[in-house]
Structure 1
């Protein structure tokens, strides 16, 4: 669902913007990653942390040799990374709204 909203926001930005020429990329410098790729990687990392936390919790509930402290620490890391991602999303959408409402 979050991936859909990101793609929707990016497509709206592309649709409302004027066609611009893409800047020339330097061939001798480090490669430049696109913002959408970086954003997708961040979402995948947060999702990975949530999956790890859930699998540790399930293993603990099944009685496997998993420490409760490991379960709690992993769950907290997943929660904090999700909250951080949510805050970045909110600020990104606020900036998008501000840019969209600008008078040209």
Structure 2
């Protein structure tokens, strides 16, 4: 189960590196904490407190990012159909594929969350 999640996270990181470059102009809040992959590993006694972003906020940002990618792909597709010279077919196809990958990753995360919820609910008390 963690191998699939690790695979998705590495794909997301690779996408962020392609999008933002090696220096990265991404906001620090969008970085994926490597400690989440190994919850048992100690992080020098650091405990995420009130200053950290919450799960709901992180989830909302991720969903907004997917929505933005889909809106961008749709706008590029419309511009291509209208004959805009700045919207060539290759860029439109790349934008559509990026939005599709982001959506599939979101659906996979949702499925994992539902499965985790069902596992918790079926635990004997």
TM-score (norm 1): 0.71
For the residues of structure 2 that align with 1:60 and 1:103, how far apart are their CA atoms?
Answer: 56
Deviation sequence 1:13-70 (CA, Å, 0-9, x none): xxxxxxxxxxx936xxxx2111011001100000000000000000000000111000
Hey, what does 2:115 align to over in structure 1? 94
The Cα RMSD (Å) is 1.7
For the residues of structure 2 that align with 1:59 and 1:44, how far apart are their CA atoms?
Answer: 22
Consecutive unaligned residues in structure 2, runs of 5 or more: 1-47
Once the two structures are TM-superposed, the CA of residue 101 in structure 1 deviates from its matched residue by 1.0
Hey, what does 2:9 align to over in structure 1? none
For the residues of structure 2 that align with 1:91 and 1:48, how far apart are their CA atoms?
Answer: 23
**1:36 counterpart = 2:56:** yes
Task: Map 1:1-104 to 2 at 5 A.
Answer: 25=49, 31-65=51-85, 66-104=87-125
Consecutive unaligned residues in structure 1, runs of 5 or more: 1-23
For the residues of structure 1 that align with 2:70 and 2:80, how far apart are their CA atoms?
Answer: 15
> Which 4+ runs in 1 deviate beyond 3 A?
none
Q: Which of 1 and 2 has greater Rg? A: 1
Structure with the largest fraction of helix? 1
Greater RCO, 1 or 2 (C-alpha within 8 Å, sep 6+) = 1
TM-score (norm 2): 0.59
* Count of equivalent residues: 78
